[in-house]
Amino acid sequence: MSRILLKTEEHSRDSAGMRYVYPVISRRAGGVSVGINLNPNNACNWRCIYCQVPDLKRGGPPPIDLALLERELNDFLLWAVVGDFMATRVPAGVRRLVDVAFSGNGEPTSAVEFGQAVALAERVLVAHNLADKLVIRLITNGSLLDRKAVQAGIARIGAAAGEVWFKLDSGTASGLARINGTRVRPELVARRLACCAALAPTWVQTCLFCLDGELPDRGDLLEYLALLAPLAPALAGVHLYSLARPSLQKEAPRLGRVNAEWMELLANDIRQLGLRVRVSP
C-alpha cells in the first residue's frame, strides 16, 4: 500500500494503491471522502480548464471490473474502520469518513456500469454497517442526464439518502464553452439539473477563479443567477469554491484564486434566491 499522507492540496488517485478506490480529504465534505474512480484512463467528455487530472483526454472509460471494485471498496473500508489508515495517513483534525463519492478522473455517469457500481457501493456499505453513516455522493457534470440508465442510477442514490453535486460553472453558452469545453446550451443544462433534482437531493457546485487576472464577468454571473432562480425550490443548495489545487491543463498559468470576500458577495446574491450556500475559498 502507498504511504501517501493525505492533504487537502493533493487528491492523488493512487493514494491507496488501488485502481478504482482512492481516499481524499474533501474540504466541502468535511473529512475523508472515499472516492470511486470509474474513469481510470483519464478520459472525460468535458475538458474543464481548471481540471487537476493529468494527461486528460476526451472520451469515456474502459469496461469496469466490478468484482475488483467491490474487493477494493471492502478492503479500504476495513483498513479505514478497523485498520491503521486513519491513524497513519490522515491528519488528526479530519480523521472521519464522510462519504463514498463517485468522482474520479472523468464523468462517472459515462461508465456503462454506473448503475451497477452504485448498487455495489450501497451493498458494501450495508455489509460494513456504514449505510447510515456514510453518504453516497455523485459528482457530475450532468451531461448524460438524458439517459434512462443514468437517471436510474441517480434515483438509486436518492433512495439511499445520498446526494448529487452537479457542476454549473456558467450561465451562458460562451462561458460553458470557455470554462468546460462543451457546446451545451444553458437551457439544456437547466433541464438536466431539474431532472437530477427530482431524482435525488442535488447541490449545484460552482468553481470560481480569475482568468487572466480578471474576476468572472458580472453579466455572466447575472445569467447564472437567472438560471438558478426558477430551480431554487427544488435544489438542496449551492457549493461555491475556488482553486485549492493547481490545474493540470494548458490554461493553468492563466488561472488564479478569488478571495473569500468576493465569493461571499456572490453567495449573498444566491441566498436571495432562497438557496443555502456553502463557500470554500
All structural domains of the chain with their residue ranges: 21-280
pLDDT above 80 (res 51):
yes
- pLDDT of res. 1: 42
What number is the average pLDDT over the span 189-214? 98
Angle at 240 (CA atoms; ends 235, 241), nearest 5 degrees = 145
Angle at 79 (CA atoms; ends 28, 280), nearest 5 degrees = 10
pLDDT above 80 (res 28):
no
Which residue carries 450556500 as its cell? 277
113-162 pLDDT, tens per residue?
999 999 999 999 999 999 999 999 999 999 999 999 999 999 999 999 99
Of 114, 156, 108, nearest to 136 by C-alpha is: 156
Classify domain 21-280 at the CATH topology level.
Answer: TIM Barrel (3.20.20)
* Phi, psi angle pair for 204, to nearest 5°: -80, 135
Banded model confidence at residue 4, pLDDT cuts 50, 70, 90: low
- For residue 7, count CB atoms less than 10 angstroms from its CB and return exposed for 0-12, middle for 13-18, buried for 19 or more: middle
Pairing between β-strand 43-44 and β-strand 57-58 as defined by DSSP bridges:
parallel
